[in-house]
Chains A and B, each alone.
Chain A
Amino acid sequence: MGFSGRFTDRLRFPILLAVVTLILLPLPASAQITVLPTRGKSLGSASAPEPGKWIVFAAGFLPVQPVLLDGGKTILWEGDAGDYAVIYLPPGDAQPVVQRVTLGDAKPPDPQPDPDPDPQPPPTPTKWQVAIFVESADLDTMPLPQLEITSSLVFRKTLESSGHKLLGVWDKDRPTTTVCDGDVCRQVPVGGKHDAYWAAISGDPLPRIAIAPIGGGAVQDFPLPATAAELLQLLQEARP
Chain B
Amino acid sequence: MSVIYTADNCHQLLRRPSTEDGTPQWYPRQTVYGGPEAASMGLRPIEDYPDVLVDWADAKEIIAFCHQKQIFAMYHLDNSGVMDAGWDQDGYGFCWAYGLTAAVMSCRAAEGKSPVRLAPFSLGWLVNWRNSGYYCDRAIAGARQSGIASAEFVPEHTLNSSRFRSGWQGDALQYAPTEWWDTRKPDDITMLRQTLSILRTGRAGYEAFIWWSHALACVGMDWDESQPNNVVTIHWNSHADGLIRMSGSRGVPDELYGVRATKHVDA
Contacts and interface: CB of A to CB of B under 8 A. Distances in A.
A184 interface: no
Contacts of B203: 139
Interface string A100-141: 000000000000000000000000000000000000110111
A170 B267 CA distance: 14
A220 to B, nearest CB: 19
B222 interface: no
Contacts of B76: 151, 153
Interface in B174-210: 178-179, 181, 197-198, 200-203
The interface centre, meaning the residue of B62, B70, B75, B178 with most chain A CB atoms within 10 A of its CB, is: B70
A195 B201 CA distance: 26
Counting contact residues on chain A (CB < 8 A from B), the size range is 20 to 34
Counting contact residues on chain B (CB < 8 A from A), the size range is 20 to 34
Interface stretch (B95-103, B125-133, B136-144, B258-266): B258-266
Nearest to A130: B112
Contacts of B197: 140
B70 A168 contact: no
A140 B198 contact: yes
B266 A194 contact: yes
A171 B178 contact: yes
Contacts of A191: 266
Interface stretch (B18-26, B44-52, B225-233): B44-52
Interface in A186-200: 190-195
Interface of A: 136-137, 139-142, 144, 147-148, 150-156, 166-171, 173-175, 190-195
26 contacts: A137-B179, A139-B203, A140-B53, A140-B198, A144-B62, A147-B200, A147-B201, A148-B71, A151-B71, A151-B76, A151-B201, A151-B202, A152-B70, A152-B71, A153-B71, A154-B69, A154-B70, A155-B69, A168-B113, A169-B111, A170-B111, A171-B111, A171-B260, A171-B261, A191-B266, A192-B266
Interface of B: 44, 46, 49, 52-53, 62, 65, 68-71, 75-76, 79, 110-113, 178-179, 181, 197-198, 200-203, 260-261, 263-267
